[in-house]
Amino acid sequence: NKDIMNVTKEPRSKIDAAFLTAEEKGLPVNRTELGKLLFPNASSDLCRRVSMNNVLSGKTKRLTTSQLRMICEYLKCDLNDII
């Protein structure tokens, strides 16, 4: 049972872990910007934000090959880091 007030940020998925690693390396990464790249046809910023949150939390079970490539390019990581 995780403490609600846990200060350390635990990665929720491999993609979230890669995001945290990119942030630790000092790369200029932003969840909103990545969401715009992954979901360009989203009807609103809210839909894009919810979709991006689902990706980072591991709720999204399927991503296209092009989406995986975009994530790797944006986060400067290897495909093996996120799948």
**Per-residue pLDDT tens for 44-77?**
889 998 999 999 888 988 889 999 999 999 999 9
Residue 77: predicted pLDDT = 95
Phi and psi, residue 60, nearest 5°: -75, 120
Residue 1 to residue 67: CA distance in whole angstroms = 33
- HSE of 21, CA atoms in CB hemisphere, 13 A: 16
User: What's the whole-model pTM score?
Assistant: 0.80
* Residue 6 pLDDT exceeds 50: no
* Digit-coded pLDDT (tens) for 17-46: 999 999 999 999 999 899 999 999 988 889
Amino acid at 76: K
